[in-house]
A = this chain, B = another copy of it.
Amino acid sequence: MSAAKTVRPGKNRAPAEGLEIVIAGLGLMGGALADGLRRQHPARISAFDLNDEILEQALSDGTIDEGYSDDQIGRRLASADLIWVCLYPGATADFIRKWMPVLKPGAMITDIAGIKRSVLDSVLPVLREDVDYITGHPMAGSEKEGYGGADRKIFTNRNYILVPPDNVRPERLEFLRQVIGSLGFTNIVETTPENHDSKIAYTSQLCHVIASALIDGEDDLQITDYEGGSFADLTRIAMINAPMWSEIFCANGDLLTEKIDGFMDSMNRIRDLISAGDTEGLEDVLSQVRKKRIAMEIDRINKHRAAGK
């Protein structure tokens, strides 16, 4: 499958100009990345996806130049400069392991898996010395799913976490940071696999568990008659991609259950104050919470403001 297509030059700097790019997986994130790369970079973009209909759609809307749903993608991977694997975590590791032997020397391969330890455990043993692999995690999303919900705008003013190897070549890391920055991300953070999995267990996975538990426990389908915004905000992510999150929750089970237990301790602490009618004790806890959350918000605003300059 292929379509001739004049690529639109980006408004901003285009660090991937003239490169051959392969995106594996045209779901919500892969589709948004393809959309953003297409818009910012005069580059040749090929995609791999098991679903032919999605490839047809991406070809016809001009987001990609070529689409493959089978091992023919190997030919494109063999000449690609930049490969962005946007599959579920297990499939990401499988894809990288399978195609590592065909990659061209000097190729950059990255992925967006929501868990890093297990993916790295699987990939590092087969990683070639002449290929640059920097795994990452775009901290963006949508309650929409799949290519139909893909939109580069979800990246604007978001965080992107990179987990570079110890022996990363600085100029290759800088190249990837520039490509990511060109997509609209304003805060690119570097960390270790362990710290990524621990922080994400809290900011993302625990939040999805909470949203799911809130809905699991409520059977009134007309409950939104009584909501004023909080319920919608807390449970929007309960419109959840069940297979993907089940895989992620279990793959990060050790750290996630730790975070769940810590959260439950805080729930019990607050519950006991309510049960005892201890308005003053409760007010102390909530005042501390308020201060902490405001400090977090100020840090966030400062970082994205600085990074956006």
Task: Report which A residues bind B (CB closer than 8 A).
Answer: 138-141, 158-159, 161, 187, 189, 196, 199-200, 202-204, 206-240, 242-243, 245-247, 249-250, 253, 256-257, 260-271, 274-275, 277-280, 282-283, 285-290, 292-297, 299-300, 303
Q: Are A228 and B204 in contact (CB under 8 A)?
A: yes
Extra pairs beyond A250-B274, A250-B282, A257-B275 (16, CB < 8 Å): A140-B228, A141-B230, A159-B228, A189-B225, A199-B220, A202-B218, A204-B231, A215-B292, A216-B266, A238-B289, A239-B290, A240-B286, A240-B289, A246-B279, A257-B271, A264-B268
Instruction: Assess the B213–A267 pair: CB atoms within 8 A.
Output: yes
Please, which residues of chain B bring their CB within 8 A of the CB of A285? 212, 216
Copies in the complex: 2
A297 contacts which chain B residues (CB < 8 A)? Answer: 224, 239
**A253 vs B220: C-alpha distance when bound (angstroms):** 21
B-chain residues with CB within 8 Å of residue A280 when the two chains form the complex: 246
A243 to B262, CA, bound (A): 25
Closest 9 CB pairs of A and B: A139-B228, A242-B286, A213-B266, A224-B300, A199-B226, A207-B230, A216-B266, A246-B283, A217-B266
The docked-state distance in angstroms from the alpha carbon of A178 to that of B251 is 54
Which among B200, B210, B238, B288 is the interface contact of A210 at CB below 8 angstroms?
B210
Chain B residues with CB under 8 Å of A253's CB are 274-275, 277
Residue of B nearest to A260 (CB): B271
In the assembly, what is the distance between CA of A229 and CA of B228, in Å?
19
Shortest distance from the beta carbon of A144 to any chain B beta carbon, whole Å: 12
Q: Given A234-B207, A239-B294, A293-B235, are A224 and B269 also a contact pair (CB < 8 Å)? A: no
The CA of A225 and the CA of B185, in the complex, are separated in Å by: 12
Question: Which interface residue of A218, A245, A266, A268 has the most chain B CB atoms within 10 A?
Answer: A218
Name, among A216, A219, A271, A294, the residue most crowded by chain B CB atoms within 10 Å (CB to CB): A216
Establish whether residues A213 and B246, one from each chain, have CB atoms under 8 Å apart when the complex forms: no
Please, which residues of chain B bring their CB within 8 A of the CB of A140? 228-229
CB <8 Å contact, A290 and B240: yes
**Given A231-B207, A253-B277, are A225 and B290 also a contact pair (CB < 8 Å)?**
no
Kindly state the separation between the CA atoms of A288 and B159 in the bound complex, as whole angstroms: 31
25 CB < 8 A contacts A-B: A138-B228, A159-B227, A199-B226, A200-B226, A204-B226, A204-B227, A204-B228, A209-B274, A210-B210, A212-B285, A212-B286, A216-B270, A217-B262, A217-B265, A238-B289, A238-B290, A239-B293, A239-B297, A240-B293, A242-B286, A246-B286, A249-B282, A250-B274, A250-B282, A264-B268
Q: State the Cβ distance, A27 to closest chain B Cβ, in Å.
A: 15
Contact A289-B212, Cβ < 8 Å, known A207-B234, A246-B282, A296-B223: yes
A187 to chain B: which residues have CB within 8 Å? 225
